[in-house]
């Protein structure tokens, strides 16, 4: 078993560099470590390597969309329990249903405030951290 982290690790999978930067700044300033992925393939690779405590997952990623990323993470026994927060600027009821069905913990429509984002991350973090 690995050593517990000093700070929870958040994987941000977001193709928009400005959004990625903002999420990273919000999270780091409130006590989280962050790793970033600009596309779905990279997100899966980083998740398998880094084993984040929680994932912020944009649904509209290039190379592998958010649904595909979530499915891959949930199919991996080492990552299946990691909460995934689906985020999207193209909110629809169909996409929300699909995200939740594939294993996302919740579905957040952009835009939202930094405080709301931090509150959601804290809410969904595993309680043992």
CATH code (residue 27) = 3.40.50.2300
Residue 71 falls inside a structural domain: yes
Residue 68 falls inside a structural domain: yes
Residue 129 falls inside a structural domain: no
Residue 2 falls inside a structural domain: no
pLDDT in tens, 49-85: 999 999 999 999 999 999 999 999 999 999 999 999 9
Instruction: Please report, in angstroms and rounded to a whole number, the separation of the first and last CA atoms in the chain.
Output: 14
Residue 1 falls inside a structural domain: no
Among 44, 70, 67, 56, CA closest to 9: 56
Q: Domain total for the chain?
A: 1
CA–CA dist 124, 111 (Å, integer): 19
pTM value? 0.92
pLDDT at 1: 42
Residue 3 falls inside a structural domain: no
pLDDT at 4 over 70: no
pLDDT in tens, 95-129: 889 999 999 999 998 888 888 999 999 999 976 55
Range of the domain at 20: 9-124
């Amino acid at each position: 078993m690995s050593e517990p982290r000093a700070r929870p690790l958040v994987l941000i999978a977001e193709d928009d560099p400005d959004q990625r930067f903002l999420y990273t700044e919000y999270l780091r300033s409130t006590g989280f470590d962050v790793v970033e992925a600009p596309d779905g393939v990279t997100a899966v690779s980083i998740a398998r390597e880094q084993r984040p405590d929680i994932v912020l997952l944009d649904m509209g990623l290039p190379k592998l969309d958010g649904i595909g990323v979530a499915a891959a993470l949930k199919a991996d026994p080492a990552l299946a329990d990691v909460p995934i927060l689906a985020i999207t600027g193209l909110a629809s009821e169909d996409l929300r249903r699909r995200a939740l069905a594939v294993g996302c913990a919740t579905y957040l429509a952009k835009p939202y405030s930094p405080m709301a984002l931090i509150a959601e991350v804290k809410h969904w973090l595993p309680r043992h951290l």
